[in-house]
Structure 1
Amino acid sequence: MNFEIPEAVKTWSQFGHPVMMWVLFAMAIYALYLGIKVKKTRQASKEERKELIKGNFANRHHKVGSIFMALVVLGTVGGMAVTYINNGKLFVGPHLLAGLGMMAMVAVSVSLVPYMQKGNDFARFTHVGLNMSMLLIFGWQAVTGMQIVQKIISNL
């Protein structure tokens, strides 16, 4: 049995990955905001902490981070799959390698959460460092990704 993907699906599927990644980039910035609020809550005086706790920032940060990790893995694999389906190969270059590196950084960062919950400052410092590095790479990825999208559009 030979299964052929319709051309329209092949063409339009190429835009799913970029759209998803822009949503994830915004989500990463929101997770950063929540993380800053968590730190502020942890370091606040008793009076301030009472008020900040109402924002439930730690729980929200954890939930957004969990969803982010799942979607970044699916988005990365999906982007690679669509590229392979449309071209018969992956283009091994900076965009792909940085994307895979980001996915690994997110996975390692999330794996540190149980240690951070036990008060391990090294795990917290590493978590923040990995995520800040990942966010910088993500910004660069957004630029190179748009260059790829422009190339795809010009070939339509």
Structure 2
Amino acid sequence: MTNFRRYLEPIADWFNSLGTPEPIVHWGHPVMMGIVVFVMGSYVVYAGWRSRITKDGEVAMKSRADHRKLAPLMYLFITLGYTGGILSLVMQNQPIFESPHFLTGSLVIVLLGINALIAFIGFGGDNKAIMRTIHAYLGSTAMILLVIHAIFGINLGLSI
């Protein structure tokens, strides 16, 4: 794993050369990701579930459209934030792979990636209802895991 760190250190050194204040390096990732997860993420989950459970066809259509627009952006921002979190640790000369925060973040990326793939392939042809249900519960599981991830992140941030 030290080889991986070796590739990231030049990037981290460049960011460090910008003179970013230490509190921003230390707490920028959690603040920005908190906004993505708790504001954008909660709406994405709300819109997705609302489209499934409402009886009003117009509301379902609007909620599904909102979910389709925002979920890919949320995934992109979470993936970029994951990268930024790793770089933040390298910039602070901290270990990368040892924390439960890293492990939960990695699992979330995998779960959301699977969910994105399910949606991208059109929910599996003949099994659309089953695949949509898997998609809903997998996405909800990822969001619950993100809450746990945030708790681990706060503990990590306070420990360094």
Question: How many residues were matched structurally?
Answer: 144
Match of 1:115 among 113, 122, 127: 122
Structure 2 Cα separation of the partners of residues 52 and 130 of structure 1 = 23
The residue type paired with residue 121 of structure 1 is A
In structure 2, the partner of 1:106 is: 112
> What amino acid does structure 2 have at the position aligned with 1:33?
Y
Aligned to 2:98, the other structure's residue is in SS state coil
Residue 73 of structure 2: aligned partner? 67
Residues 20 and 73 of structure 1: CA distance in aligned 2, closer, same or farther (over 3 Å): same
- Per-residue CA deviation, residues 85-105 of structure 1 (Å, 9 max, x unaligned), is 221641412110110110111
Find the aligned partners of 1:124 and 1:61 in 2 and give their Cα distance: 13
Query: Does 1:52 find its partner at 2:59?
Result: yes
Structure 1 runs, 4 residues or longer, greater than 3 Å off: none
Q: 1:37 aligns with which of 33, 39, 50?
A: 50
Structure 1 residue 17 corresponds to structure 2 residue 29:
yes
In structure 2, runs of 5+ residues without a counterpart are 1-9
1:136–1:88 distance in 2 versus 1, CA, 3 Å: closer
| CA drift at 1:150 | 2.2
Give the TM-score taking structure 1 as reference length: 0.80
1:96 matched to 2:109:
no
SS in structure 1 of the partner of residue 123 of structure 2:
helix
Match of 1:136 among 138, 144, 155: 144
Could you tell me which of 124, 129, 144 is aligned with 2:132? 124
Q: Considering only aligned residues, what root-mean-square deviation do their CA atoms show, in Å? A: 2.4
Q: CA deviation at 1:151?
A: 2.6
Deviation at 1:115, TM superposition (A): 2.4
2:152 partner SS: helix
Q: Secondary structure at the match of 1:130?
A: helix
Larger radius of gyration: 1
Structure 1, unaligned runs of 5 or more: none
Contact 1:10 1:85 in 2 (8 A): no
* Alpha-carbon distance in structure 1 between the residues aligned to 2:52 and 2:124: 13
- Contact 1:10/1:86 (<8 A) preserved: no
Q: Which residue of 72, 75, 83 corresponds with 1:77?
A: 83
Give, in whole Å, the separation in 1 of the partners of 2:157 and 2:94.
Answer: 18
How far off is 1:130 after superposition? Answer: 1.3
